[in-house]
Amino acid sequence: MNFKKTLFFLAGTIVLGAAIYYFEFIQVQQKKNENEKSQQIISFKIEDINFFQIQKKDTKITLQKNDKVWVLTEPIQDQADQGVVQDLIKNFSEQKMQSLESNTNLNLAEFGLDQPEATLIWKNNAGLSEKIQISSQKNFEGQSFAILNDDQKIRMVQSNWLAKANEGSTYFREKRLYRADLSEVLKVDVKSLNDHFQLQKKGQSWIAPQFENYELDQNKVRQMIKDFAESTIQNYLFEGDPSEKEQKEKGLLNPPVQIEFETAKSTWGASLNLDDKNKGLFALTTKPSYLVSLDMSRWEKFANVTLDSLRDRKTLMTFSISDVQKIYSKIQNTEYDFLNEKQSWILKSNLPAESEFLPIQAEKILNTIHDFEISEFVDVDVAKKFEGKNMLILKSAGDELIYQLNWGPSLKIKFNGVEKEVYLARTQISKNIFAIDKTIIDELKMDRVFKKITPTNEPKK
């Protein structure tokens, strides 16, 4: 009998504990969730939203999601900037609002909501819609007054709602100068202030078909193409082909800079000009045709690009610095020999009189060599002047050749009309002769690994 009473008591305790848990935790949590949901401005799931519209007096901007891609349908039909729209929807969906005390006698005019500054509408895949009307008036914290779904209850929302509603259609439009997939581009034609050249894709690499012996820096080529393609449009000035007068005013009838991309299916081009009179960098594109303005700071990069600037200046100078254990140099008939032992450099050749060897300086010289790049490329006639009596040889612990640089003599040569003092040089990687600025080679002063010992006047004991 006592056993049954114990069971009943235990069962009652469990039921009571469950009830307390339910009322004190579950219901509190549910109430909290309901309260948070009531503060949500957009109650739809982000992935279900397929329509967004901004209404402002006589203007309307409408965005529609088709096949997971946002498009602008009003005031003009165009591709939308996917990142801008997605970030906007996400930002708005995550924001919450606060409400003033409910009062059915509130005067909307006092809050500027009798004639809202903007109305935002969004819809989901189920056809449900929500609307928020925003006033230009703000409270002391800078929040805008708003009404959600015509419920006549005054709410406060963050100021960025009105700021985004005041954006023009350009803010929501695709702003890349080239809109198609860059990976499909097979040929590029570039005309700048200083050059006119073509590039062609061969496998996964870019070549200059008119100079097949040129080794191009693939990263520089891809960056150059990307810089042109992804230039951000600041403003759309004209849809379609502008008049000859308009093109002349913007300096685009005979444009100083032109770019053309060719894919397997189409060709796209853009003409560019920096117009000091109109204070703008203007571009006229084809397929589709737009007259647009760009960031003026981009002009320097577009106007000065040359095929020479895209050539590979590093590969012929590249080596693995960690493999180097021996350094030999011969500069103007002065020879030095260094060996790396136990992570420290030692001098194998004779030590100059009244000097001490500085191992850290040998390490610095090696790092200097590792950072070398070709300064300029030279033609065949200039290359014939190469002698290469100065040399630097880097070897592994097993005496395997890792890198060899020969240079000399020093010459003054004009490159693009500018005279430079350079050394003609080459490495063991190729027979190609190139030029390195004299100031760079001068960094190979091997005598800096020695420090003069100042003699003392103390008498010998």
The residues, any chain, with a CB within 8 Å of residue 155's CB and separated by 6 or more, are 97, 98, 99, 100, 145, 146, 147, 148
Which of these three, 111, 142, 172, is where a domain ends?
Answer: 172
Using an 8 Å Cβ cutoff, are 340 and 322 in contact?
no
Stated pTM of the model: 0.76
- Tell me if 206 is assigned to some domain: yes
Q: Do 335 and 435 share a structural domain?
A: yes
Cα distance between residue 259 and residue 309, in whole Å: 16
Per-residue pLDDT, averaged over 349-371, amounts to 90
> 417: helix, coil or strand?
coil
- Tell me if 439 is assigned to some domain: yes
Least confident residue range of 196-210, 317-331, 438-452: 438-452
Q: Do 323 and 304 share a structural domain?
A: no
- Tell me if 461 is assigned to some domain: no
Burial class (CB in 10 A: 0-12, 13-18, 19+), 182: middle
Cα distance between residue 261 and residue 184, in whole Å: 10
* pLDDT score recorded for residue 260: 97
When the pLDDT of each residue in the chain is averaged and rounded to a whole number, the result is 87
Which of these three, 310, 329, 361, is where a domain ends?
Answer: 310
Helix then strand then coil, % of the chain, to nearest 5? 30, 35, 35
Of all residues in the chain, what percent carry a pLDDT higher than 70?
Answer: 89
Which of these three, 278, 310, 342, is where a domain ends?
Answer: 310
Ranges of beta strands (E only) in 365-429 are 376-377, 390-395, 401-415, 418-427
Cα distance between residue 167 and residue 186, in whole Å: 37
Confidence class for position 155, pLDDT limits 50, 70, 90:
confident
* pLDDT score recorded for residue 413: 93
In the chain, how many domains are there? 3
Report DSSP state, residue 456.
P
- Tell me if 8 is assigned to some domain: no
Q: Do 380 and 266 share a structural domain?
A: no
Q: Do 211 and 110 share a structural domain?
A: no
> 325: helix, coil or strand?
coil
- For residue 150, what is the domain's CATH number? 2.60.40
Give strand pairing partners of 445. none
The residues, any chain, with a CB within 8 Å of residue 454's CB and separated by 6 or more, are none
pLDDT digits (tens, 9 = 90+) for 229-265: 999 999 999 988 899 999 999 999 999 999 999 999 9
* pLDDT score recorded for residue 138: 86
pLDDT digits (tens, 9 = 90+) for 275-308: 988 789 999 999 889 999 999 999 999 999 999 9
Q: Do 127 and 65 share a structural domain?
A: yes
The residues, any chain, with a CB within 8 Å of residue 232's CB and separated by 6 or more, are 175, 176, 177, 294, 295
Query: 245: domain range?
Result: 182-310
pLDDT digits (tens, 9 = 90+) for 109-121: 888 888 899 999 9
* pLDDT score recorded for residue 27: 53
Report DSSP state, residue 321.
G
- For residue 271, what is the domain's CATH number? 3.30.1490
Q: Do 303 and 189 share a structural domain?
A: yes
Q: Do 323 and 288 share a structural domain?
A: no
Q: How far apart are the first and last CA of the chain?
A: 112
Cα distance between residue 273 and residue 293, in whole Å: 10
Q: Do 226 and 259 share a structural domain?
A: yes
Structure tokens at 182: 């860059």
pLDDT digits (tens, 9 = 90+) for 90-148: 888 888 877 765 555 678 888 888 889 999 999 999 889 999 899 888 888 888 888 88
- Tell me if 24 is assigned to some domain: no
Q: Do 132 and 226 share a structural domain?
A: no
Q: Do 50 and 164 share a structural domain?
A: yes
Cα distance between residue 401 and residue 404, in whole Å: 7
Confidence class for position 161, pLDDT limits 50, 70, 90:
confident
Q: Do 194 and 305 share a structural domain?
A: yes
* pLDDT score recorded for residue 103: 54
- Tell me if 10 is assigned to some domain: no
Cα distance between residue 303 and residue 286, in whole Å: 20
* pLDDT score recorded for residue 447: 85
* pLDDT score recorded for residue 32: 44
- Tell me if 459 is assigned to some domain: no
Q: Do 168 and 72 share a structural domain?
A: yes
Per-residue pLDDT, averaged over 390-412, amounts to 94
Cα distance between residue 240 and residue 243, in whole Å: 10
- Tell me if 287 is assigned to some domain: yes
* pLDDT score recorded for residue 36: 44
